[in-house]
Chains A and B, each alone.
Chain A
Amino acid sequence: MSHILSAQNVNKKYGNFQALKNVNIDISKGKIVGLIGPNGAGKTTLLKSVLGLDSCDGELKVLGIDPYKKRADLMKEICFIADVAVLPKWIKVSQLLQFTEQTHPNFDVEQAKYFLTKTKIKMNHKVKELSKGMTAQLHLALVMSIDAKLLVLDEPTLGLDILFRKQFYDNLLNDYFDNERTIIITTHQVEEIEHILTDVVFIREGEIVLNANMDELTNSYFEVMVNQDHYEEAMKHKPLTMRKVFGKYIMLFHSHSRDVIETLGEVQRPSVSDLFVALMQEEEQA
């Protein structure tokens, strides 16, 4: 089994609305993939299919399993946080741990208790008594105590304050991630996760418009600070986007080599969010 996830010609229609169009993607072990797209682009639809929460057409295999047909089997090997605060409100922390231990063969309850000792969460707390941030901590503690091959996070930090968000990703990276695991993350706060990603996938109107690893991106997209002197020449190279800051032009180029670009000005690595915006605009014009 070479790929953790493989999708071939995956389509999903809701009535007349085509939510996913011929999605082809392979994700291999040890990656942290950011799935990025505007609202309504089909991120959640794709993840729902991957998690077996909804059916789809085409060939979709997660760990070699058809997710929709065998969700219960698949969930032994993968886990997900679909949104913050989806833990049942009425349950006690101790009950949550007990239930997960009874139903999940790969859950380590001692590990979860250890993670919780580092937070303010007590075993006799009910979920409804916890703040949104604490609920996310609890959910993360639970998920990090499951020995899963794939972790899917769909907007896991939406609505949390910046301290919790930072801590969330720090914990994930330091205490959980290793090369045996794979993580797929969607979020709107791209800038917070781009330093931990190994790959990015851009999705737009149900189609995958970019699927690349971060090294490829840095070798083919360049952000350049161009002086007024070089403006004319730079424009010849057709920048993807351009914005003016303090009398200089910041241009984004797609190019196969750095050599020519370097003559135009100071070269930087573009941020994923700038790249995202550029590619989305390019698609719109095309």
Chain B
Amino acid sequence: MKTFKALLIREYWEHRGAFLKTPLIIGAVFTVILLLGYLTTDRFDLKLNSGQAVEFGVKALENMDPAKIQAGIDIFMLSTESLYHFVLFIIIFFFLLGSLYDDRKDGSILFWKSLPVSDTQTVLSKLVTATVVAPLIFTAGLIVSHLVFFLLTSILLLLHGANPFTILWSNINYFTNWGAFLVGCLAQAVWALPVYGWLLFSSSFSKRRPFLLAVFAPMLAGFAWYWYNALVNLDVIRIGVFKTIGLLMAKGLQPFTSGLGFTVEEIDFDPSERTGMELIQSMLSGLTNPSVYYGLIFAVVAVALAIYVRRFRNAT
């Protein structure tokens, strides 16, 4: 247990830039956009209306129905979370692709293997980093970013004599909106588990370019399956393997997409259509889909193979 914890901390040390700085940088970017947007509006307003429009705007906010403000904040929070999921998946993708390859490339695997740590522990520590550690760090980064954004908004409201507590802070659905991100991370990890397993296997197995193996081998399988059906079964619209890969990638990139079905039509997500609570429910019920269990079986096999290969492949 102590060893496993040390392995997770080790991953954090190596990838702190990607796991911790990325969410904070995205947060900083949209905070800066808010500030620039405000300054531009303010200046235009001063020039054209001698500052009245902003005054009216703030007055209108004070008199607005809280339900509408809540809905607006929900849309902001859920759509930024959706962006965070997207970025998180990309980061995990490349983290896993390098996780069992980079140390073979620079030879440091020989140092890691000189410690009493089994290959099973090593590979599982990478998987847990991808499914638990990185999402939790991202969640913390997201919350900090949201809070900074809201603080800045509060200051702007105060500058115009409005009360940020009644307008802003009391209208934030903290629990369901941040909960939706956390559950989204869970849905992302579960749906993308076969993808993660495949990436670990590619990273462990590949001698030169894990990316090529990870991306082109499934494509090749997809093409082979398509042409087999087209030529042998005369079925030209069957796209089986591609569809599966596409859906898994879509779920990985966008866990907020409806978790209920497993069809292409249901993978769009519109934050104005659903509240955080509805999202949480649909994602959780989506996890009972039998496709999830087939994916799980694939993931177990792929991770087992990654461990098997890791035992004797020490170089590139």
Contact = CB atoms under 8 A, between A and B. Distances in A.
A47 to B, nearest CB: 11
Contacts of A100: 115
A103 B117 contact: yes
B114 A99 contact: no
B294 interface: no
B113 A88 contact: no
Nearest to B10: A99
B13 interface: yes
Contact of A68 (B6, B108, B121, B311): B311
Nearest to A79: B114
Contacts of A86: 106-111
Contact of A88 (B6, B108, B314): B108
B312 A72 contact: no
A95 interface: yes
B47 interface: no
Interface string B111-125: 111111111010000
Interface in B1-51: 2-3, 5-7, 9-10, 13-14
B62 interface: no
A48 to B, nearest CB: 7
A129 to B, nearest CB: 15
A81 B6 CA distance: 21
B115 A75 contact: yes
Contacts of B7: 103
A53 interface: yes
B13 A91 contact: yes
Given A75-B115, A88-B103, A90-B14, A83 B5 contact: no
Interface string B47-88: 000000000000000000000000000000000000000000
Nearest to A77: B116
Contact of B114 (A68, A75, A90): A75
B283 to A, nearest CB: 35
Nearest to A148: B114
A89 B118 contact: no
A51 B114 CA distance: 8
A103 B116 contact: yes
Interface residues of A, number: 34
B6 A103 contact: yes
A102 B108 contact: no
A81 B200 CA distance: 27
A271 B3 CA distance: 46
B272 to A, nearest CB: 43
A104 B115 CA distance: 7
B137 to A, nearest CB: 17
A14 to B, nearest CB: 11
Interface in A47-98: 48, 51, 53-55, 68, 71-76, 79-83, 85-92, 95, 98
Contacts of B115: 75, 100, 103-104
A19 to B, nearest CB: 13
A102 B2 contact: yes
B107 A85 contact: yes
A105 interface: yes
A72 B111 contact: no
A223 B118 CA distance: 49
B314 to A, nearest CB: 5
A53 B107 contact: no
Contacts of B119: 71-72
Given A88-B103, A99-B6, A99-B10, A71 B314 contact: no
A140 to B, nearest CB: 13
B106 A53 contact: no
B268 to A, nearest CB: 40
Given A85-B107, A90-B14, A95-B13, A80 B114 contact: yes
Contacts of B9: 99, 102
B117 A72 contact: yes
Contacts of B118: 71-72
Q: Which are the 10 A-B pairs with shortest beta-carbon distances?
A: A102-B6, A72-B118, A82-B110, A75-B116, A88-B108, A86-B107, A76-B116, A86-B110, A103-B3, A86-B111
Given A75-B114, A87-B108, A87-B111, 15 more contacts: A53-B110, A72-B117, A74-B116, A75-B116, A75-B117, A82-B111, A82-B114, A85-B107, A86-B108, A86-B109, A92-B13, A99-B6, A103-B6, A103-B116, A103-B117
Interface of B: 2-3, 5-7, 9-10, 13-14, 103, 106-119, 121, 311-312, 314
Interface of A: 48, 51, 53-55, 68, 71-76, 79-83, 85-92, 95, 98-100, 102-105, 139
26 contacts: A48-B314, A51-B114, A53-B110, A54-B314, A68-B311, A71-B113, A71-B119, A75-B114, A75-B117, A76-B116, A79-B114, A82-B111, A83-B107, A85-B107, A86-B108, A86-B109, A86-B111, A88-B14, A88-B108, A91-B13, A91-B14, A95-B10, A95-B13, A99-B9, A103-B3, A103-B115
